[in-house]
Amino acid sequence: MKVISVLTALIALAAGAPASEQERVSGGTALSAAVPHLVSITIDGQHVCGGFIYSSGWIVTAASCVKDYLPSQVKVVVAQVSLITQDTDEQVISVFKIFINDGYLPDTKLHDIAMLQMATAITFGAKVNLIRYEEAEEVSGTIVKLAGWGATTVGGTPSTKLREITVTLPATCAGIYTADEFNSIYMLCAGGSPADVGSPCQYDEGSPLVQTIGTTSYAIGIMSKNKGCGSGFAPTIYTRLSAYYAWINKIGGLQPAP
């Protein structure tokens, strides 16, 4: 997995992109430590998407990330910061089975959610842990976060280092997405505010949108789609996790008690 990522980074550098640009989203920040709940989803060894730890045996990600692949092609990497060097406590775990929501529509990405059953249990520790999910509190100006290895430009390669951006809730997708493209029951719209300091990009799909409610951080959505990234920071559509409470519990069971 690391070898392919090294080649990707070298190609980007040969094209003239400076190393620092490969390590940050515009306005975002590069992280020096792993985000405990965040995972990298790899296909045949290369990062393609993010996801989050639901329990020691299950990962939640976007259906669009894994719908065309066999479990044998997919692996999950936890405690990761860099795509090109081995990180402390990093684990690479095989996938036993892929569960894609039956209602998933590739054209509009409605019901863009999937669960991955691990072949072996994830070992929890200081750098690896689950995150709970909750209904978003969509109060005007609310700051939420997303971390991932997304590209820094449209059509770019994955970032070689983990990065984090902040965006605001709520946002309006009116005039940007059609009624078929955005369904507020099953989707969240976030970003596009002058206060935002970044935008998700390719390879951020499946990464969780995280909101602090009270003193606890919760996953409230997973990145699904947008109309480009970089300057302008157009709103991004996320799968609304609370809409899938029954489905998630049916597939993965209840989350362990805190």
Q: What local confidence, expressed as pLDDT, does residue 153 receive?
A: 82
User: Per the structure block, which two tokens stand in for 69?
Assistant: 């692949």
Residues of the chain with confidence (pLDDT) below 50: 1-27
pTM over 0.85, yes/no = yes
Give CA separation, 222 vs 4, 90, 138, 258, in Å.
Answer: 26, 22, 15, 22
Cα separation, 138 vs 171, in Å, equals: 9
CATH code of domain 2-19+35-130+246-252:
2.40.10.10
Give the DSSP H or E segment for 64.
helix 63-66
Q: What percent of the chain has pLDDT over 70?
A: 88
- Say if CB 133 and CB 220 are below 8 A apart: yes
* CATH 2.40.10.10 in the chain, residue ranges: 2-19+35-130+246-252, 142-243
Q: What local confidence, expressed as pLDDT, does residue 7 receive?
A: 36
Structure confidence by residue, pLDDT tens digits, 193-221: 888 888 899 999 999 999 999 999 999 99
Q: What local confidence, expressed as pLDDT, does residue 228 receive?
A: 83
Residue 256, preceding peptide bond in cis (omega within 30° of 0): no
- State the pairing for strand pair 114-118/91-100: antiparallel
What is the fold of 142-243? Thrombin, subunit H (2.40.10)
